[in-house]
Every structure is written in structure tokens, then in C-alpha cells.
Structure 1
Amino acid sequence: MARQLVIGNWKMHGSVGQIRTVLPELVRAELGANVGVCVPFPYLALAKSLLADTPVQLGAQDVCEFHIGAYTGEVSPAMLADVGCEMVIIGHSERRRYFNETSEMAARKVNAALDGGLLPVYCVGETLEQRQKGVAREIISEELQVLAGVPTSLYTVAYEPAWAVGTGIVATPDQIAEMHDFIKQTLDARTRVLYGGSVKADNAATVLATDGVDGVLVGGAALSATEFLNICRHAR
């Protein structure tokens, strides 16, 4: 049985001091390659230096769809790879909500990441209004079109219902299992699907034991070495 992935998304949090405090704790825990951390751009090189010679993977939280050029403020896939990134989060609900990122834009970013040798962690999820209207599957299906034709082994999907991201609300095991099964049916049964949405140490065991869950994408809890390690210990 495949190992479950645990990826920490630091979002726009952290400092040099926090990176130097948290990551060495992860190193001392001797975690495996099924663990990754996605820190803000300014701290990637420092994070890589602290994770050197360990199997813990490093990731970014976004990437530019262009490879090179006059795109002030953007960061290319090659730049991420150059500082040691192995994965990148794409299409997160916060990117869609606050920065008007569309699935079409996310598709270009996925292709750019693949061209750059990075693993896209592609996020999908419905809002509370969409779920209440009964159109969650239609929304997820549209978002998954981004991955059409991409070999399953080259990406990971993260199901993050927007109504559970940063709200403290966690989808029920039945809700998670239903949507993960739908994603696998839509793409491929072998697709790795992570759950994200207020995952913490006290609910990680339940989430990770849910059918169809191949790991978790962790937000705020990833900022605490103690809590993140507790989540990692629940992973298969």
C-alpha cells in the first residue's frame, strides 16, 4: 500500500527565525520522502539548506506560467528548481478567490511546472454556496479538466473545499470519501488525492483513515513542529 503524503503549506506566514526553529525539528524526526513543506518564496533557499541530505521535500506555493522574460514580480519553474524545489502548489482556493486565478491560468501553470520538472499539487474544491446548490461535482469536474491528458504519476490532486479552508470546519469522512472517489473516477483510480481543509493533529487520524485519502495538505498546523509531526505520525 502506497505511503500517504503530508504536505505543509505555510501560506504567507513565517520568518527566518521560524524557519530555523521548525525545520530542524522535522529533520531530527527523520521523516521520509512522503513529507513536504511549502514555504514562502523568500525562505526557499534557507529551507533547502536546512533540509539538505534529508528525504523531506521542498515546495513553493505558486509559480509563473512563463519560463523567462519581463514579468516583474514573478518566479519561474526553473528558478524554483534551481533553489531545490521539487513540488509546487497550484490553483489553491485562496489564489482563485483573492487573486482571480482561473482554471485556465492554473492549467498553464501546471504545464509550466511539469516542463520545469516540478510536481504540481493541484487544488480543487467548491465553495459553501456551490455545495448548498448541489453543484459541487460540476465545479470539481470543471477544475479537473486542467489535468486532462497528464499522466497520473506526474501530479497530485488536493481536494480542499473552500468552506473548510482556514475556518476550523472539517468535512465529514463521508463527504471526503465521496469527493475523493469522484475525483478518482473522473481522472484515474490511481490518482493521488490529498485532503486539505483545517487539518490538525486532533483530526488527522480520522481524515487519514478515510477511504480514498492518499494524504493531507496542512495549513496553519504546519507552522508548529509539534503539531505537524503529530500529523505525520498518523500517516500510513
Structure 2
Amino acid sequence: MNNRTYERVLLKLSGESLMGEDSFGINRSSIIRITDEITKVMSLGISLAIVIGGGNIFRGVAPGAQGMDRATADYMGMMATVMNALALKDALKYSGIDVRVQSALNIEQIVEPYIRPKALRYLDEGKLVIFAAGTGNPFFTTDTAAALRAAEIGAEVVIKATKVDGIYNTDPIKDVNAIRYSHISFDEAIVRQIAVMDATAFALCRDQKIPIKVFSINKANALLRVITGKDEGTLVHI
């Protein structure tokens, strides 16, 4: 359903994608591998923004967060996304990519506050922008933040990086005969409760007519193939 190169893309990275085989934290080999994939895309002149999760950092403190107030835990998770954004920025810097980090929480000593016109200017100038701290509000996931920021910057697509190379009719880890969908509608994904993104993010992208492409961040050159319109992953569409 797509055979063209996207020009402006919002990439949603989970914090877990930075863990590698570690139980939590940031695995240097994983972040360098992801940086290499991003560098290939940026070399094409693609306008790229990233929303990153914080699950890998928060996982290390999760046992102590048992019984914690949900809003407090969510703010801790937002801080974890800022840590990941800084780590990714540092790795990208050594690849020669000009990166800006904007946070939905006001932490001006460390990162810029999120200001939409400034983010758009950075993207127009060819800089990569990393959006941290989710939406800045508790009870909303970074998936929802990705959908929101995609709408705000005029992204043509949200690319959701996962450990699986698309959406399947059954669990491909448990079923070797599972079939990957090349595309699926938003309504079907919501009705079938596809867990690759939360329902709020699906609904927002559907309402704003922004397709979502689901692919594996662990597959070499998959990000490049997705952005250049190759048959990679699963497209969720109107």
C-alpha cells in the first residue's frame, strides 16, 4: 500500500530497545546499532523526529515502586525517558548528526522545553529532534505522546519499533506458522485489541489520518526499508 519514501517521520522507540540482553539500563552495543540505523536514514535527507520510552530505566526501580501513587510513578517514568534521550543524543553526536532534545517537562538546565515552532524549525533545518518526557502528563503513555507529536509536526507516518517484525494473526514467538499482515485497518486493530500500541494512540492516529508502520528494530536495515516504502513490517491505516 506504500511504495514511496516518506519525507517526515516520527519514530517511536521503546526504552527496552536500548537494553539489548540486559535486564535493565542501557546496553552500549544496542544503542550504537540503533544509531547506525538512524544514520542511514538521515543520510537520505529524511526529516526525522523520535519519541523514546523509559521502560528500560524504570525497570531497575520498579520493585521499589510497588504500591506507589500512579501519577508519581508516571513522572518517574518521564524522567527515565529524558535519560534515554540524552544517551541517544550522545551516541548520535558521534555519527555527525545534529540533534536537539526537547522535553515536555521543564528541565532547562539539561534539555530544551518542548516548543512546537522551534521543533518545526529544527526539522526544517535538517536536525533530528528527540521528544522526551512523553506528553508531560501522567496517565498517558509514550505511544500517545508519539501520536500527538506526529500530528503536531505534520509527520506522514508513525514508525513503531518493536522486537517483532510486524503484526501477526497469532503470536509468532509461540506459533511458527503465524502469518504477518502487510497491512491492517485502525478499526480492526482496535477491535482485535492489538497490543502493539495503546488504544488512545491508535485512535489519535486514526482521527488525524496518520498511518502507523510496525517493524522490528532488531532487523538490520529494516528502518531504512520501512522509510523507503519496501515491504517491511505492517502498515496500520484508515
What TM-score results when the alignment is normalised by the length of structure 1? Answer: 0.39
Higher RCO (C-alpha under 8 Å, 6+ residues apart): 2
Higher helix share: 1
TM (normalized to structure 2)? 0.39
